[in-house]
Amino acid sequence: MSFIYLIRHGETNWNLEKRFQGTTNTELTYEGLKQGKLLANNLEKTDFKNIYTSPLNRAKITAGFLGDKTKCEVIEDLDFKEISFGDWEGLTTTEIKEKYPLMDKWFSDPSLYKIPNSDDLEAEKNRLKKRLIEIATNAEGHNTAIVSHAGIIRLSLLAALDLPLSYYWRFVLDNTSISILEYYNGIFHLKTLNNTSHLLNK
């Protein structure tokens, strides 16, 4: 039995502005830095075999706090870099709605509309399924942390639970939230979703 902790990065200015970040390398706000430290304090006594992080700064810095507290090496992994939102990156939801009338369709079900020049979500989901199985198998019963982004974590949950893309928006994932997957007998189980109890300590 292995456990994978899927952790979203701390708050950024673009989060506050409801601006699509994707592969853009945005920075944490003061609040985001504080969230990362509270997350690390909460998981200090958790024994991680590995901590993987997206190479984007907002995730890497969040993961750094966790690595320092748990004395576990942080490994940058391109597999967990946020998906590309193509032509929508850098735009707010209001701006997107003005330029792309079909935005509501994507927010309802991403399988019904592909953002221009964005990553293929179905292909990303399939890729993540293989990677999660590989990590869980190699963990040999230990804990693994993956510090990443809302898009990647949503797709990871869909992949692990064998859910279609139409369920993409069914998961709420707040900044520095912890979602835990249990891997047992070749099957993933969702043990925890969007736990942000550590933020109550602020």
Sign of the alpha-carbon torsion through 140, 10, 23, 168: positive
Pairing of strands 2-8, 178-184: antiparallel
Cα-based angle 42, 46, 47 (whole degrees, multiple of 5): 155
Pairing of strands 143-148, 48-53: parallel
Catalytic entry in 11, 27, 73, 82: 82
Catalytic annotation present for 9 = yes
From CA 53, how far away is CA 60, in angstroms rounded? 6
Q: Which residues are catalytic?
A: 9, 82
